[in-house]
Structure 1
């Protein structure tokens, strides 16, 4: 496998898991299982928010308001999977894979 293709797919995979961690963290806070006043929870939440907001914010601007339901992570995960397949296809068609 091409090292550049491997790097791109690895970054997409890591970011995929970061988004899932952010979603789970928001659920845990929303259901009162973890408390944001805990310094460790606050630090993890802050780090996850800083990592995910730059890509989620533009998606939230485009999506209609659905009340309390935020589907922007789902849209981003689907877009990332599409981008990973597209990059793989381009590398294969160019003979670089």
Structure 2
């Protein structure tokens, strides 16, 4: 049983890290969109592009299922909600 709890804690840690990356991507995207930070900032642009390369394979299937909403991308929100639902279900099964 302690092995399952340890596995749950590892999955919870990875899920939390993924949610943080999604939030960081969102915030940097807003900073670029409202010209708070210039896109010519090489460090921030490289960081943003690397996060996008990491998250795009995860978010692309969700984007394909959602209707086109124009400039607003709801796929990060859907991913966060799905991850939280998975963690609740796993937690209820293990505990």
TM-score w.r.t. length of structure 2? 0.90
Counterparts of residues 39-78 of structure 1 (less than 5 Å) = 39-78=42-81
What is the match of residue 38 of structure 2?
Answer: 35
Contact 1:35 1:41 in 2 (8 A): no
Give CA deviations for 1:66-94 in whole Å, capped at 9, x if unaligned. Answer: 111111111111001001111111212xx
Tell me, in whole angstroms, the C-alpha distance in 2 between the residues paired with 1:76 and 1:30: 22
In structure 2, runs of 5+ residues without a counterpart are none
Structure with higher RCO (Cα < 8 A, 6+ apart)? 1
Question: What's 2:27 paired with?
Answer: 24
Gaps spanning 5+ residues in structure 1: where? Answer: 93-97
What is the aligned partner in structure 1 of residue 16 from structure 2? Answer: 13
**TM-score between the two structures when normalised by the length of structure 1:** 0.88
**Structure 1 stretches of at least 4 aligned residues deviating more than 4 Å after TM superposition:** none
CA distance in 2, matches of 1:7, 1:36: 35
